[in-house]
Chain A
Amino acid sequence: MSRLARFAPELVTCTFRVRAGYEWGLMFEILKSLLTVGIGIFGFLAALGALYWLASRLPEPWRERARVAVFVGPALVLLFGLVIPALINLRYSFNDRNDEWYGLQNYLDVFTNDDNLIVLRNTLWWGLSVTIASTVIGIVIARFADRMRGEPVAKALIFLPTAISMVGAGVIWNFIYSPKQYGLLNSVWQLLPGEQKTQFWLQDNEFFSLKSSFVPGLNTFFIMVVVIWIQAGFATVVISAALKGVPDDLVEAAKIDGASDRQAFYKVVLPYVKGTIITVATTTTIAVLKIFDIIQTMGKGGAFDTSTIANEMYEQGFPQNNEGLGAAWAVLLFLAVAPIVFINARNQRAMREGR
C-alpha cells in the first residue's frame, strides 16, 4: 500500500508528461503538414506567375509563344512523365529480374505457370462477376426506387460505400467475415439448423470442395461481395438518373398498346437507357480489373489464391523485386483495359450524337 502511495504521484506526473508531450507532438505535426501543404501550393503558383512575367518581357514573336509555353508547359512535362515511363515499362517487360534480356519469357511465364494462371483466372472472374452483379443490382434498385417515397434516402444509403476507401471497406468486411465470435457472417451461419462449424471464409480457396482450376475459391467470391457493395451504388445512381430522362409519353404509349409494367420496362425503358448501362458496365469493369487495395487488405496481398493482375503487378514489381515480370503484368493490364476504354469512348460519343 505504501509503495503504491509513493508510486501514485509519480504515475500521475508521468502520464501527464506523456500526454502533454503527445499533444504537443500532434500540434507540431499539424503545423508541419499545413506548412508543407502551403509551401507546395504557393511555391508552385509563384513559379508559374514568375514565368509568365518573364514571358511578357520578351519581344513580340516570342512573347506569345512563351506565354503558350507557360500555360501548356507544366502539363506537357507531366504528360511526358506518363508517356515515357509507359514505353520504358514495355521495354522492361522483356527483362528478367536482373535487368537482362529475357525475351518473351515473362509473358510465357504468365500463361504457363500455375500460380500465374490462377491470377488470370481470378481477374477474369472478377471482371465478369462484379460487373454483372453490380450493374444488375443497380438496374433493379433504380427501377423499383424510381419515384417511390424516400427514394433519395434509400439511394444515398446504397451509394454511401462508394465514398469509402477500398482499404476501409476491406477492414469493415474483414470484421464481418472474422472466424471469431464477433464475426457477423459466422454468427448468422451458426443460426442455421444443425451443428455448424466456424468457417474461415477468407481462407477457403476451394469452391464448395470442388477441385476445379477454372473456378476461383469461395474466398475470392467473398471479397468480390465487398466490391459489389461499393460499385452497386455507382450503378444505381447513374442508371437512376438515366431512368428519369425516359420520356413519360414513351412508356405511356407502350401501356396503351397493352404492354404490362414489366414489358414496358424491358421493351421500352431498358433499350432507351442502353447507352448508360454500357457506360456503367465498362466503367465498373475497368475499376475491377485494377483491383489492388482490397486484395492487400483482405487477401493478405494475394495469399490463399486471391491474387489478381494489378495485385500481382505490385507484388512482383516491388516486394518481390522482379521488375521484368511486374512490368509484363502491367502491360497485360493495359491490354485488358484498352479495348474496354475504347468501347466506353465509342459508346459515349454515340450517346452524345444520338440525343
Chain B
Amino acid sequence: MAATITEPLIGRTPPKDLTPRGTKIARGISSPIGRAAVWLLAALWTVPTIGLLISSFRPEREIKTDGWWNWFKDPTNVTLDNYSGVLSNKVNGHPFSDFLWNTVRIAIPAAIIPIVIAAFAAYAFSWMKFKGRDWLFVMIVGLMVVPLQMCLIPLLRFFGGDFFPDALEGVTTVWIAHAIFGMPLAIFLLKNFIGSLPSEVIEAARVDGASHLTIFTRLVLPLSVPALASLGIFQFLWVWNDLLVAKVFGGGAENQPMTFAMVDMVGNKGNEWQLLTAGAFITMIVPLIVFLSLQRYFVRGLLAGSVKG
C-alpha cells in the first residue's frame, strides 16, 4: 500500500489504475449531511423560478389573492390568458410583442457582428505579418480594463451629433455599441484560439496558393467553431439580457428590448402581477433553452469571459 502512494509523491507519473477515481479512500468527502445540504440548497435555488412559472399560468384573480403555492390544491386551474394578455399589453404605447421582436433584432446581429469582426482581426494578428502587430495586440488586451460605463456619455453624444448619419440611429447604434464593448474580449479569446491552430496546415494552404480570405473562410473558421460557439453564446446571452446599453442608445420605446418593457411595467404596473410573471417568463425562455441545450459551451464561454473588466 505504502509503496503505491509514495510513488507519485516523488514526482513520477502515478500508475492510474491503482487509485481509481471516485473511491472512498481517495476522497470520501461527501457526508450524508453534506449531501442533504446540497439538495436543500438546490431546492431553495429552484423555488423562486418555479414560483414564477406556476404563477404565470394561474388566473389573474388567483394570482392577486393568494400565493402560488396554493396552486397545488387545484392543479387543473391554469390558463394561458396571462401570456396573451402581456403580449398585447401596451408599454409606452407599444404592445409587449414589439419589445420581444426588438430583443430578437438587437441580439442576433449584436452577437454575430462583433464576433465576425474579431475573427478577422484575430486571424490578422495570428497569421498576417505587419508592423506593430504584437504591440497593437497588447494594447487591445489592455482595453479589457475599461468598463463600458466609461464610454456611454461621449458615445451617445457622438451618435446624436453631426458626424453620425441620422438614418442609423436606433437599433443600429445599439448593435454598434455592443460590438464596441465586446471587441477587446472577443479579439483576445479568438486570437488565443486561432493563433494556436497548427501552423503547418496554414503554411501548406498558403504554398498551394490560397489567399488570406480563402484560408480564413475555408480553413480557420471551420476549425474555430468551438471557440466561436462559446463566445457567440456568451455574447448572445449578454446582449439578450442587457438593459443598460439598449436604454442608453436605443432611443425611443419603439427600439427598446423586453428588459426595458419589464422595468417600465414594474414601475407603472407594479400590481399587475399576471402580466409581470408571464412577461418575465417570456424574457427568460430563450436564455433557459440556450442554457439547457448548450450548457457545455455556456460554461466555457462564461469562464472565458471572466477575464474582462
A interface residues with partner B (beta carbon < 8 Å): 22, 25-26, 29-30, 32-34, 36-37, 40-41, 44-45, 48, 52, 56, 64-65, 67-68, 70-72, 74-76, 78-79, 81-86, 88-90, 92, 137, 140-141, 143-148, 150, 153-154, 156-168, 170-176, 180-184, 187, 229, 232-234, 237-238, 241, 247-249, 251-253, 255-256, 261, 265, 279-280, 283, 286, 290, 292-293, 296-297, 300, 310, 313-314, 317-318, 323, 326-327, 329-331, 333-334, 337-338, 340-342, 344-345, 348
Contacts and interface: CB of A to CB of B under 8 A. Distances in A.
A344 B306 contact: yes
A137 B45 CA distance: 12
Chief secondary structure at chain B's binding surface: helix
A93 B14 CA distance: 60
A68 B34 contact: no
Interface in B120-162: 120-121, 123-125, 128, 130, 136, 140, 143-147, 149-155, 158
A86 B263 CA distance: 28
A229 B48 CA distance: 10
Nearest to B152: A317
A52 B213 contact: yes
Contacts of A25: 95, 97
Given A29-B97, A75-B183, A341-B144, 6 more contacts: A64-B128, A65-B130, A68-B128, A156-B295, A157-B42, A326-B152
Nearest to B63: A182
A22 B237 CA distance: 29
B291 A163 contact: yes
B187 A158 contact: no
8 contacts: A71-B120, A83-B143, A146-B29, A147-B27, A165-B242, A167-B263, A256-B5, A333-B150
Interface stretch (B74-82, B110-118, B195-203): B110-118
A89 B154 contact: yes
B27 A251 contact: yes
A92 B154 contact: yes
Contacts of A30: 101
Nearest to B100: A29
Contact of B105 (A36, A81, A150, A327): A36
Nearest to B266: A297
A231 B205 CA distance: 45
B59 interface: no
B38 A148 contact: yes
A148 B35 contact: yes
Contacts of B30: 144-148
Contacts of B295: 156, 159
Nearest to B141: A345
